[in-house]
Structure 1
Amino acid sequence: MHNMKTKISLRTTAFAMLLAIFLTGFLTGCEDDDGGTTPAAATQTEMLVGNSWRVSRVATPDGQTLDRNRLNVTTQVLYDLDMQFKADKTVRAVDKNTKQVINGGTWELVDDNRAIDVNVTGFKGKFPIVELTRSRKLILRQQAPVDGRQSDINLEFDPVL
């Protein structure tokens, strides 16, 4: 039972970290697929809720893939979660294998659709949006332990279609 609680606790912590990483990557504005201006709220909402998002790769800032065994447990767990933003303004982290919801909360577009405000158990904040497209890979920079030392990493998300 202790192992189950530890696993759920790690996933809850990982969800909060993933959400923080995912949203802190949205820094200054949003472009549409053609590199234009910020889409309307309805379009952004459609793109955000149109897919789940999953970490596909963790890399150094210069693009070298980091082996999972070099990452801490919290970062490793991120590979196992799908982030789902729903049209009813809820967000949740779902185990990609069991489809069990690990954690959740609410979200809302704010600041003329240039930021997303999130309220999740263990995590709350308003995050500017850099890029949001339905079919592109999302790459976010984050500080996380690699080989036990804090390092800059890129978390790469693919839409789960």
Structure 2
Amino acid sequence: MKKLTFIYSLLLTFFLVSCDRSTTDEPTNEATVRVLTTNPWKVDKITDLNGNVINTASLPEQSKALFGINIQFSDDKTVRAIDPIARTVINGGTWSFLDNEKTLDIDIKDLKGQFPINKLERSRMVLLNKITYNGLTFNVNLELVPAL
């Protein structure tokens, strides 16, 4: 009887150890998602990496367009660009976290790419972005605030 119990416990152990526990999605901290999805965001300013504000007039047209939209992230991993005056959806797409919530992958027309997250708090989000102007590429910070 002891041998039979030992064999069953050994088989059960091998079975449990051999189960695939890996997932394809990285686990997401619910608090981080809540901060991102609680309210729409708007670009407050674009700065260089030293924190100096870049004059809006000297930005390329695509970057200037970011000031005219609110960005709403939803729990279902969708994102929408919203006209803040008419409150209509301009376009939409998807979002996800990458690299253990260190990068935000956004896929909408006006804001598409993988953006390393410098800061994500309830009152402020700072994303690293690359802009191209007159053939030169610059690293800048997109500083977003809640659009209330």
TM-score, structure 2 as length reference: 0.62
- Residue 82 of structure 2 is aligned to residue 55 of structure 1: no
Answer yes or no: is the 8 Å Cα contact 1:115–1:128 preserved in 2.
Answer: yes
Structure 1: which 5+ residue stretches go unaligned? 1-38
Q: CA deviation at 1:50?
A: 0.7
Which residue does the alignment assign to 1:153? 140
Q: Name the CA shift for 1:121/1:66 in 2 (closer, same or farther; >3 Å).
A: closer
> What is the alpha-carbon root mean square deviation over aligned residues?
3.2
Q: Secondary structure at the match of 2:121?
A: coil
Correspondences of 1:1-80 after superposition (within 5 Å): 41-80=29-68
**Percentage of pairs with the same residue:** 34
1:11-54 CA-partner distances (Å, limit 9, x unpaired): xxxxxxxxxxxxxxxxxxxxxxxxxxxx9622122111112111
Answer yes or no: is the 8 Å Cα contact 2:117–2:126 preserved in 1.
Answer: no
Task: Quote the Cα distance in structure 2 between the aligned partners of 1:69 and 1:126.
Answer: 25
Task: Quote the Cα distance in structure 2 between the aligned partners of 1:71 and 1:61.
Answer: 15
Task: Quote the Cα distance in structure 2 between the aligned partners of 1:67 and 1:126.
Answer: 24
Q: Name the CA shift for 1:112/1:144 in 2 (closer, same or farther; >3 Å).
A: closer
Structure 2: which 5+ residue stretches go unaligned? 1-26
Q: Secondary structure at the match of 1:140?
A: strand
Task: Quote the Cα distance in structure 2 between the aligned partners of 1:126 and 1:152.
Answer: 13
Q: CA deviation at 1:118?
A: 4.8
- Residue 121 of structure 2 is aligned to residue 95 of structure 1: no
1:102-156 CA-partner distances (Å, limit 9, x unpaired): 11123345666555555546987766655422123425342332xx352333221
Q: CA deviation at 1:61?
A: 2.4
RCO comparison, higher one (Cα < 8 Å, 6+): 1
Q: Name the CA shift for 1:103/1:67 in 2 (closer, same or farther; >3 Å).
A: same
Q: Name the CA shift for 1:86/1:67 in 2 (closer, same or farther; >3 Å).
A: same
> How many residues are treated as equivalent by the alignment?
121
One-letter identity of the residue aligned with 2:42: R
Segment drifting more, 79-88 vs 149-158: 149-158
